[in-house]
Amino acid sequence: MLSTDAARDHALHAIKAARAAGADAAEALVTADRSTGVGVRLGTVEDVERSEGADLSLTVYVGQRSASVSATRFDGATLDELAERAVAMARLAPEDRWAGLAPAERLLHGRAPDLDLWDGGEVEPETLKLAALEAEDAARAVAGVTNSQGASASAHAAVTALATSHGFAQAYRATSYSLSASVVAGEGGAMQRDHASHSARYRSALDAPAEIGREAGERAVARLGAARVKSGTMPIVLDRRVAAGILGHFAAAIAGPAIARGTSFLKDRMGASVFAPGIAIHDDPHRLRGLRSRPFDGEGLPVSPVALVEHGVLQCWMLDSASARQLGLEPTGHAGRGGGVSSSNLYMAAGVIPRDTLIGEVDHGLYVTELFGQGVNGLTGDYSRGASGFLIEGGELTRPVAEITIAGNLRDMFLALTPASDLTFRYGVNAPTLRIDGMTVAGD
């Protein structure tokens, strides 16, 4: 795999070639990665995958026209030809007055912060196989589990380098590891499936394989006997596994391109209360060993922790340079790699109510552990998704439920949301258990 220095040098060579070919400005992104994965099922290895590769993406600007091309070979002749082709394409492209590099004065200067994203390890397939087998064995050992959909373990290493024609050239590297198991409980038409997984930057931080397997098995068995419930309006409690999805919808609604196009249901809500009082949402690219941590954004701008919502009030959009220009604002360091915007380690701050209390206050409602479908309208905020989980009766989780739909509008859902105090940083996007009052449930 390429070193950080080699990746940066290739990006700089592409920039030099682009300027020589007639580009007024250019940016080059080099990504190189190495991954190994092993999948098992019923105690037998099903697949072993190992890949290593690198890619260079070059974007050139001729006036207000631009074009992007990519290559997997980085020798001088290939990059020279790539640059000439990109410039020729740009000269034929339509003008876009918002396109261009990030403001030079806003670029990251000096050394990028070290976010401890690299553990230096390389895992052999045999080690991954043993971890996957252990996870599956633990899952199948749970009473009531009748079949397996498999378990997998993987290791991944990546290098990212970005260079621009106006003075930015930096690179960083990161490792990540994951382990998962999925099993089936029950027989015939009564079968239920569930899974468990964990990912981490350092392999030493992964949950034990037996723990992941046992959790997958217990979740599947707990769903046996699932049935529908009567339709109605009731409180919904979202398990942490699915609560983060609410933040995903929020992030999409405050993305600069959607705001600039006027296609977000929050387009006119800057400075307004969009969540209940006390709700805070943060984006922290500097979290050490965070799954979405990064030392700079996709345009070379410095990044820093930011409060997107404080006391329920929307504080800022997530802007790249193009959407910032359209809106007459400054970019916020949220440019994604290869265009658009993206959050980093997005999370909702923990509330003050324990999870058990949050559930205990519900006389009749649903505890949702899985969501299906993509029934969310970003323009209107209308929300409708398939769900499964458990019925809440008298403040207690009782029987499992399935084949239901929960619906509402994200505007109302945000304002009716109460977070529990059980926030943990397990995913790239994290939220505590959430209760949303007054949602519509479609069942029997």
Same domain, 360 and 284: yes
Tens digits of residue pLDDT in 367-380? 999 999 888 999 99
Same domain, 245 and 143: no
Confidence label for 121 from pLDDT (cuts 50, 70 and 90): confident
Alpha carbon 16 to its chain's center: 34
The phi and psi torsions of 308 (rounded to 5 degrees) equal -85, -35
pTM: 0.94
Same domain, 256 and 279: yes
Q: What is the mean pLDDT of residues 22-32?
A: 97
Same domain, 123 and 255: no
Domain range enclosing 115: 4-222
Which of 188, 222, 256 is the last residue in one of the domains?
222
Confidence label for 185 from pLDDT (cuts 50, 70 and 90): very high
pLDDT of residue 444: 83
C-alpha–C-alpha distance, residues 39 and 180, integer Å: 10
Same domain, 214 and 265: no
Confidence label for 339 from pLDDT (cuts 50, 70 and 90): confident
CATH number at residue 105: 3.30.2290.10
Same domain, 161 and 248: no
Amino acid at 426: R
Residue 338 confidence (pLDDT) above 90: no
pLDDT of residue 155: 97
Tens digits of residue pLDDT in 416-430? 999 999 999 999 999
Which of 188, 205, 222 is the last residue in one of the domains?
222
**Helices within 39-99 (DSSP H only):** 76-92
Same domain, 52 and 197: yes
Alpha carbon 152 to its chain's center: 20
When the pLDDT of each residue in the chain is averaged and rounded to a whole number, the result is: 96
Tens digits of residue pLDDT in 147-163? 999 999 999 999 999 99
Which of 200, 222, 244 is the last residue in one of the domains?
222
Structure tokens at 146: 């009748």
pLDDT of residue 423: 98
Same domain, 398 and 267: yes
CB proximity list for 40: less than 8 A, separation 6 or greater: 46, 129, 132, 133, 136, 150, 151, 152
Same domain, 199 and 259: no
Q: What is the mean pLDDT of residues 103-118?
A: 94
Q: How many separate domains does the chain show?
A: 2
Same domain, 232 and 213: no
Same domain, 97 and 208: yes
Same domain, 166 and 259: no
